[in-house]
Amino acid sequence: MVYPFVLPRVVCVGQGALYHLGTEMERLGARKALVITDKGIIEAGLHAKVLQLLKSHHINTTVYSQVEPEPSSECVEQAAEIAREGVYDVIVGLGGGSAMDVAKGASILATNGGRIRDYIGIEAIPVPGLPTVLVATTAGTGAEVTMNAIFTFKDEKVKKGVVSRYLLATVAIVDPELTATVPPHVTAATGMDALVHAIESFTAVKATHHTDLYALEAISLISGNLRRAVACGSDMEARSKMALGSFLAGVSLANAGVGAVHALAYPLGGRFQISHGVANALLLPTVMEFNLIGNLEKFAAVGEAMGESIAGKSVREAALAAVKAVRELSLDVGIPQSMKEVGVTESGVEELIEGALQQTRLLNNNPRSLTKEDIRGLYLRALG
């Protein structure tokens, strides 16, 4: 089987990776950079560190800090307008998935023109964008290594994705020190999102030998360290392993894609404004249970990677142990355990089903095919 395997051009991972930023920007010939971030990052003082680093390398900067959670099409178009007018060499995305997605979107809109809705779908972008340097400040989204960017279209109350090689970062920087101030509930939600990336890509139709290597290691690192990272944010060993796990899961996701958990989670975010990580974590065990018969061996391997003892267990029992391990982890790190807990009612389910059915790319990559009735059953079970 022949398959492509993509990565950002340069990846800097580990404690102190941020200090490679200036050198990497110099290598790109940057003189003028647009830094795209959000207010939380500015309040945490992380942008000041980045601006100081860039200044010491004689790079002029402008900051766009209006990135909102689950960013809208209007937000990315506003950032792109600034990028176009300012004639920048490089766009720096500093933050979690939202800031990095806006940076990716602004980069391609700056060179291609038009609106972000023109490029929804797979490989619909005509020419490359401005070079991007993506600096991750959470351990979860994997946005620094993926070729996706997701935006909320408020008029349709739906999230849609742009998928293109041109969204791959020129440089990705993953420094666990930047995650030290992330509060416990965000650490939990983004960490569970990373676990979903690893499990979904590992069991995906498009999984390959390459992506399996990344995904299994990610499952082991995340499930072994998320509790500690949530319990004690300054535990740099746990933060480092979470950052690495999230990065590896992102690489697997970028190449093998995700499946029904994400397909069912997107409408939850779009319609009920539930954060991406929480929506995914809520649906993960229910969807896994449904998916088990699609690939018992792989789900059994997930259980083993999560530390479940598989000695004396049948493959089916080991696969079920993976679901149990996911439930326990989610509960331990404080994720809501039912959709009702986050304000979803039965009357909202039909709208969610319609939203999920639109995610055909993800549904086709799921290890078990789903009918409309299957999707209804999963939402009702997750409702609690």
CB of 193 to Fe ion, least distance (A): 5
Q: How far is the CB of 219 from Fe ion (least distance, A)?
A: 15
In the complex, least distance from residue 191 CB atom to Fe ion, rounded to whole angstroms: 11
Among 38, 193, 289, 304, indicate the residue that binds Fe ion (CB under 5 A): 193
C-beta closer to Fe ion: residue 8 or 257: 257
Query: Which residue number places its CB atom closest to Fe ion?
Result: 193
Of 38-46, 185-193, 216-224, 314-322: span binding Fe ion (CB under 5 A): 185-193
Nearer to Fe ion, 177 or 193 (CB): 193
Distance CA(301)–CA(313), nearest Å, equals 12
Tokens of 221: 């690192």
CB 195 within 8 A of CB 253: no
Give the footprint of Fe ion on residues 246-285 (CB under 5 A).
Answer: none
Nearer to Fe ion, 175 or 200 (CB): 200
Nearest Cα to Cα of residue 203 among 337, 305, 352: 305
Report CA-CA distances (Å) from 336 to 122, 309, 341, 344: 33, 26, 6, 12
Choose one: 8-16, 60-68, 159-167, 186-194; the region binding Fe ion (CB under 5 A). Answer: 186-194
| Residue 200 lies near Fe ion (rule: CB under 5 A) | no
Q: Which stretch binds Fe ion (CB under 5 A): 175-183, 188-196, 333-341, 360-368?
A: 188-196
CB-CB contact of 59 with 28 (8 Å): no
Closest contact distance (angstroms) between CB of 265 and Fe ion is 8
Cβ closest to Fe ion, residue 144 vs residue 193: 193
Q: Residue 51: is it exposed, middle or buried by C-beta count within 10 angstroms (0-12/13-18/19+)?
A: middle
Nearer to Fe ion, 77 or 193 (CB): 193
Q: How far is the CB of 185 from Fe ion (least distance, A)?
A: 17
Q: What b/e sequence results for 25-39 when a residue is b if at least 16 CB atoms lie within 10 Å of its CB, and e otherwise?
A: beebebeebbbbbbe
The string of DSSP codes covering 113-175 is: -S-GGGG-EES---S--S-EEEEE-SSS--TTT-SEEEEEETTTTEEEEEE-GGGS-SEEEE-
**Least distance in angstroms from the C-beta of 280 to Fe ion:** 6
State the Cα–Cα distance between residues 255 and 237, nearest whole angstrom.
Answer: 28
Residues at the interface with Fe ion (CB under 5 A): 193
